[in-house]
Amino acid sequence: MTASDLFPPTRDAALARIAAVRPGDYARTRNALDGAVTRLSPYLTHGFVSLPDVLAGVVQRHPLRVQHKFVFELGWRAYFRHVWAHRGEAILQSLHPGPLPEDAYARVLPADLRAGATGVPAIDQAVRSLYATGYLHNHARMWLASYVVHLRKVHWRTGADWLLGHLLDGDLASNHLSWQWVAGTASRKPYLFNAENVARYAPPAWDSLGTVIDVSYDALDAIARSPLAVNGKALATAGVDEPPVGASPPRVLPPDPKRVAGRDVWLVHPWALGDPPADLPAGVLRLGWWPTEPLARWPWSAGRRAFVAARMQAITDDQWQGDREALARALVGARSAATLADPHVAGALPPQVLQRPPAALFPEVAHPCASFSTWWHRATRGLVQAEELAGLQAWRAATGDQRSR
C-alpha cells in the first residue's frame, strides 16, 4: 500500500471517509492497529475538510453525545492548536522537565532506527509502514516515540522533527506536543509500553515478545529514569532506505502581474485545500502558493508534496513558490487578497492578505489550559449532544444545511 493508494488527494475521498465513520466501532476498536479509525488526518491537516465538516457528516448518520469518544478525539486536535496559539514557538521546547535532564538525550537518531532495523518488530514495522504510506496509527506513533525517547535516549525534539518530515498529516501542534506528552515534558509521567501491549493491539508481524520491550512496566519506568540507553539486538540485515525529505515544491514563475492587476485573489496555501468559500467575488483568481520559509524549515517527503500539489492543481488557476516579499510583490496590483488563516503560514503572509478564520468546531477557550481535561471541560461545559456545539451550528448556517436552527 502506498501513500497515493491510501490517500487519494481529493475532497471526495475525504467525504467518503467521513461517510464511512462508525462511531460505535470507533470507540470500541480505535486502539487496535486494525481498528475502525478514520484515517482522516492528512485531509484535516491540509484543510481538505474541517473538524465541523467531519462531525456534521458523522452526526447526520449517527447522533452523538458530546462526550462520545469520537468527539473527544477530535477535541485532542483542537486542544493541541489551543496550546500552540497560547504558547507559540515555546511548543518546540520542553514545556516542563521530563524524567531526565535535557542533556541525557542524544540529538541524533540512531541509524538502525532510521533503517527500520532495530530488531524490535513493533518499531521496525512502524518505521517501514511510515515510509511506505506517510501514515501511522496513533498507537504505533506512541510506541515509536516512547521507544525513541525512553529506551534509545534520543531527545523528543529530534524524534518529532524526523517523524514530521515523513507524515502526510504532519502538524506541528499535534506532532510536537504528542511527542512531549510521551516524553513526559507536557504530561505528568512518561508514556511507556511493552511487548504484551503490542501483542494485544497489533497484528502478529509486530509481535515483539523476547525483545528489549518484553519487560514489566516497573522495569520500563526504571529504564525511563536511567540515562543508559537500551539498544537491543539490531537486525543483521541492512534494513530499508529512508526516503528523502526536502522535496522541493513546484518552482514555477510568480504570476504575471498583468493577470493579478485589478483582480480579487483567493490564495490557496498547503493548509487550506478545501473548496474555495462560496462567497468569493465573481471572477476571483485562485492562486496556489507554496510558502518558501515554512517548507524550508520543516521539509516534507515527496509523497506529501505530491498529495498537496495534486489537490492544489485541481482547485487553483496557477501555483508557484515564493517567500513573503515575493508574494507581497506579486499581489501589488490586486484589488484584494484573502486566504484561510493557519498557524503554519501565519508568519509568511504579507499584511495585505486578509486572513479569514477557519471553521472551528469547539468554542475558543481564552484561558490557557495546561491539561486536555481542563480545556475539554471548558469547551463542552453545559452541552449534552454534539449537535449543540456552537461550531456545528455555525457550520450549518454557513453551508445552508437544513438542520440549522
Ligand X SMILES: Cc1cc2nc3c(=O)[nH]c(=O)nc-3n(C[C@H](O)[C@H](O)[C@H](O)COP(=O)(O)OP(=O)(O)OC[C@H]3O[C@@H](n4cnc5c(N)ncnc54)[C@H](O)[C@@H]3O)c2cc1C
Please report, as ranges, the residues that interact with ligand X according to CB under 6 A.
30, 37-41, 44-45, 73-74, 76-77, 80, 137-138, 141-142, 145, 164, 167, 169-171, 174-175, 178-179, 182
Of the two residues 14 and 285, which places its CB atom closer to ligand X in the complex?
14
**Under 8 Å CB-to-CB from 21, ≥6 apart: which residues?**
36, 38, 54, 57, 58, 62, 70
CB 160 → ligand X: shortest distance, Å?
Answer: 7
Query: What would the grid cell of residue 16 be?
Result: 467518503
Of the two residues 68 and 141, which places its CB atom closer to ligand X in the complex?
141
CB 365 → ligand X: shortest distance, Å?
Answer: 16
CB 378 → ligand X: shortest distance, Å?
Answer: 18
CB 307 → ligand X: shortest distance, Å?
Answer: 14
Of the two residues 206 and 320, which places its CB atom closer to ligand X in the complex?
206
CA–CA gap between residue 42 and residue 12 (Å, rounded): 14
Contact predicate 115/373, CB 8 Å: no
What are the CB-based long-range contacts (under 8 Å, 24+) for 382-388?
A: 383/66, 384/65, 384/66, 385/63, 385/64, 385/65, 385/66, 386/55, 386/59, 386/63, 386/64, 386/65, 386/66, 386/68, 386/71, 387/59, 387/63, 388/66
CB 304 → ligand X: shortest distance, Å?
Answer: 11
Of the two residues 92 and 284, which places its CB atom closer to ligand X in the complex?
92
CA-CA-CA-CA torsion for 81, 82, 88, 89, nearest 10 degrees? -50
**Under 8 Å CB-to-CB from 169, ≥6 apart: which residues?**
41, 42, 44, 45, 46, 134, 135
Residue that is written with C-alpha cell 539486538 in the block: 233
Residue 220: what residue type?
A: L
Of the two residues 326 and 341, which places its CB atom closer to ligand X in the complex?
341
CB 248 → ligand X: shortest distance, Å?
Answer: 21
Tally of residues, the chain: 405
Of the two residues 44 and 192, which places its CB atom closer to ligand X in the complex?
44
CB 283 → ligand X: shortest distance, Å?
Answer: 35
Of the two residues 137 and 305, which places its CB atom closer to ligand X in the complex?
137
